[in-house]
Amino acid sequence: MNDAKVYAPQDQLTLWMLTDPGRPTRVGELSLASGGQGVGFRYGDAWRAAGYALSEDLR
Protein backbone atom coordinates (compact mmCIF):
# COMPACT_ATOMS: atom_id res chain seq x y z
CA MET A 1 0.00 0.00 0.00
CA ASN A 2 1.34 3.45 -0.94
CA ASP A 3 0.91 6.03 1.86
CA ALA A 4 2.30 8.93 -0.19
CA LYS A 5 -0.02 11.92 -0.34
CA VAL A 6 -1.10 12.95 -3.80
CA TYR A 7 -0.91 16.65 -4.62
CA ALA A 8 -4.24 18.16 -5.58
CA PRO A 9 -4.23 21.81 -6.72
CA GLN A 10 -6.48 24.12 -4.73
CA ASP A 11 -8.38 27.17 -5.95
CA GLN A 12 -7.59 29.40 -2.94
CA LEU A 13 -4.36 30.58 -1.36
CA THR A 14 -4.03 32.55 1.89
CA LEU A 15 -1.69 35.56 1.72
CA TRP A 16 0.34 36.44 4.84
CA MET A 17 2.59 39.42 5.63
CA LEU A 18 5.82 38.33 7.32
CA THR A 19 7.36 41.61 8.49
CA ASP A 20 7.68 39.79 11.83
CA PRO A 21 7.95 36.08 10.96
CA GLY A 22 7.16 35.13 14.56
CA ARG A 23 3.79 36.88 14.23
CA PRO A 24 2.51 36.54 10.66
CA THR A 25 -0.42 38.76 9.70
CA ARG A 26 -3.17 37.38 7.46
CA VAL A 27 -3.76 39.79 4.58
CA GLY A 28 -6.39 37.97 2.53
CA GLU A 29 -7.01 35.28 -0.06
CA LEU A 30 -6.09 34.78 -3.68
CA SER A 31 -8.66 32.77 -5.63
CA LEU A 32 -8.30 31.10 -9.00
CA ALA A 33 -10.87 32.46 -11.43
CA SER A 34 -13.14 30.01 -13.19
CA GLY A 35 -11.38 28.36 -16.07
CA GLY A 36 -7.99 29.09 -14.51
CA GLN A 37 -7.48 32.19 -16.67
CA GLY A 38 -6.86 34.66 -13.84
CA VAL A 39 -6.95 35.31 -10.12
CA GLY A 40 -8.98 37.45 -7.75
CA PHE A 41 -7.90 38.91 -4.41
CA ARG A 42 -9.98 39.63 -1.31
CA TYR A 43 -8.56 41.37 1.76
CA GLY A 44 -9.40 39.79 5.11
CA ASP A 45 -11.71 41.74 7.43
CA ALA A 46 -9.00 42.33 10.08
CA TRP A 47 -6.57 43.63 7.42
CA ARG A 48 -9.18 46.02 6.01
CA ALA A 49 -9.85 47.36 9.52
CA ALA A 50 -6.20 47.93 10.46
CA GLY A 51 -4.13 47.49 7.32
CA TYR A 52 -3.46 49.37 4.14
CA ALA A 53 -3.64 48.72 0.40
CA LEU A 54 -0.70 46.67 -0.82
CA SER A 55 -0.69 48.54 -4.14
CA GLU A 56 -2.82 50.91 -6.17
CA ASP A 57 -4.29 47.91 -8.02
CA LEU A 58 -5.37 46.10 -4.82
CA ARG A 59 -7.71 48.56 -3.12
Q: What does the alpha-carbon distance between residue 19 and residue 16 come to, in Å, rounded to a whole number?
A: 9
Residue 59 has pLDDT above 60, yes or no: no
Question: pLDDT-based confidence at 6, cuts 50/70/90?
Answer: confident
Is 31 in contact with 42 (CB distance < 8 Å)?
A: yes
- The string of pLDDT tens digits covering residues 27-37 is 999 998 877 78
* Per-residue pLDDT, 22: 95
Kindly state the average pLDDT of the residues 32-48. Answer: 85
